[in-house]
Structure 1
Amino acid sequence: MSTITPVIHPAPRAKTAHGPVGGASRNWKAPIALGVFTLLGLLMLVVFGRDGISTMRLSTGSDLIQLPALELPTRATGVVITVLLLAITLVSSRLVYKRAKVPVWLISVFAFLLLVGFLVWASAGSTLPIPGLLFGSISLAVPLIFGALGGVISERVGVVNIAIEGQLLAGAFTSALVASVTNQPLLGLLAAMVAGMAVSFVLAAFSIKYFVDQVIVGVVLNVLVIGFTGFLYSQLLAPNSALLNQPPKFERIHIPFLSEIPIIGPVLFRQTLIVYLMYVAVIAVYFAVFHTKWGLRLRAVGEHPQAADTVGINVARTRFLNVSLAGAIVGLGGAYFTLGSVGAFGKEMTAGAGFIALAAVIFGRWDPIRATLAALLFGFASNLQSVLSIIGSPVPSEFMLMLPYLVTIFAVAGLVGRSRPPAASGKPYIKS
């Protein structure tokens, strides 16, 4: 008589709405970071809170629609915001406990509330001009955004672009010289693109054709452009400034109807041609990188050049063309210094903007939109320290200058998501 051995199947794993229990590890980085900032907010807004009324001016004198100033009790507002920060921190902790991902929008709301709380605390007893603060932030961020877009394209195709600083400076010098001689700012703008492309072409030639270390080439190019433009400024522009260093600036263009929208109208739609080109460039680069055949080839070369070569993509040519395109975009940012902002070239006038743009690329995780937002953050922090010093805020200006870099360190450390560059970025491709 044969016996039948029962087959025992393992019990199915319990599932939740977010997948099997125990299947995904809990990542407590976001709740820990939010908890630290909540504690800092508690200390600043409540323990060391300030008394008085914080006034937020929402309109300028030339606005068609005048919004009333917003008056907030400083200490009470700080208490309310601290409670909201604590609630978001608890929600994020519960999500992680349930092995769910903390959504980006929740972190964004947390950051916005913390920023509002800081502004209210810093402006106690004073008036903070919100349109002026935002307008100045856009102005400071324009060259950073052009630099970040160029950096994204270069690194997406596999070339680390340390030479953004040199491309910005070359664009600023050339645009000032050409626009001064021709009295045509548009020609200066085109000359800036050519100058940025020339610097990037040298970077591409040495790093792609001769396999020289890309970081070393970029650093050398920065030093070379700084020295070369400084020498020409001292020997050529300074002695003949009336002829060679007084370029005509672009006039501000008011977009009908849009420029009259409260708050955002004066900030976004009363700008110069270069700023409007920046808007177009951000949208065009994002669409091209992620939604076109060109972008697919670019990303393929930056991620796996050998596989791209196998399917018939010329890796060297693709890298050459895209690094040159990136240089032209960065050159536009250099032109903004002389044709849209300062109005004349000065030695080392970019003041490290290229390296800040490179930090924006990393903070933005090599995405055009995110890199743009990171550049706007840098511009906002730089302008905020100037505005706070004008209204007599007790916040040290040095703190505001280092704030964007602290945020970048948190981003690179993975507290706001994993930051991974393109796999082949910085690696020369030698065809086998």
Structure 2
Amino acid sequence: MYNKSVYQQNWQAKEVCLRPEQFPQCQRLYTFLRRPWVGYIACILLTILNVLLVLAEQHMAINIILPGGQLVIQIALVAYLWGFLPALLMLCLGLIVIDAFFISDLSSLFAAHSLDVTLQFITFAGFALLIAALFAQREKALRLAAQREKTICEAHQQLENYLSVISHELKTPLTGTQGHIQLAKRKLKNLPALLDEEHPDRQIIQRVYRSLEQAQKQTMIQHRLINDLLDASRIHTNRVSYTMKICNLTEIVQDTVQSARLTNPQRCIKLEVDIQEKAIIRADADRIGQVLNNYLSNALKYAPLEKPIHVSLYREGESACVAVQDEGPGLNEEEQKNIWERFYRAKDIMPVAQDGVSHVNLGLGLYICKAIIRDHQGQLGVTSQPGAGSTFWFSLPLDLNKG
């Protein structure tokens, strides 16, 4: 099995939530150090450090740092780490140190000074208090944002788990239903030949057989939708794995197109292969076939019944390109950007009616295609204009050593 490449992991880094629970030891230490009483102890230790620095400055005749600037930095740090009350304590202790060593001696602590000095003292204290309040408020907002983000991540994870579980639960009975339909079709297929042309049950059996065919098509659609849910959930939670091997892209394209022709015999699907040699790639053949099948399904779903679907395989530099062109309603520029997103569905574009089979669109097919192609170090895109059809394409790097 081939796990996701580093390239793809980096591509999906924005979609994966990094939770603190992934680093329990660091999380416990961080929680312990952020307790308020640790902040009060830190204030006392910082005050002792300030006193030592002032004494060193006085005895060694050196200018270490301005006391006001040092105190403002300490208040901001304490407010950011421990909140407003520890920062208020740091302010009070700092003012005591400033008053004791820079304004007067210890015996005149907070004594009345000249008006200018008093105003400067009050202004500095108010400024430091404002900084403490702002940093404390900012830290509170950051904690609330982190808590909301954690809640959102947990909700997303629960949703992905729910989708995975419900998809598995739906898939089990659906598989049994498909088996019973196939068994009933086999038993009814040859039964009309045993009856006379005028036998009254002959037409009833034929109608039942056609009903079973319609039911089988509906179950196939449901099976595809469930598989899309499972794939989308695995992609979103970074749990996709691939069976990578050397394979021939030409054969993958030919087999997929032939399968689409058998499933839709009333439609015209043209294939043009413009590669002389083998298109050798290293890929998961089933997944690449899934991408092309999704392109074909969309083209068959939205293009007029009488219009052909063109599939082309050609080489472009060191890559092999596959394109599916239709003459459907087309897409505007905004839709061309958004169709690759999960659960996005283009507005005002209705599928064509085919044999009474309904077409349910969850908006997951192209999202899955995008993930598969990028996991294979390839590229993909669409060229379209409203009313002029669309061309969906993807390219994969050729294995030139095997070609």
TM-score by length of 1: 0.19
Q: Which has the larger radius of gyration?
A: 2
Superposition TM-score, scaled by structure 2 size: 0.20
Higher strand proportion, which one? 2
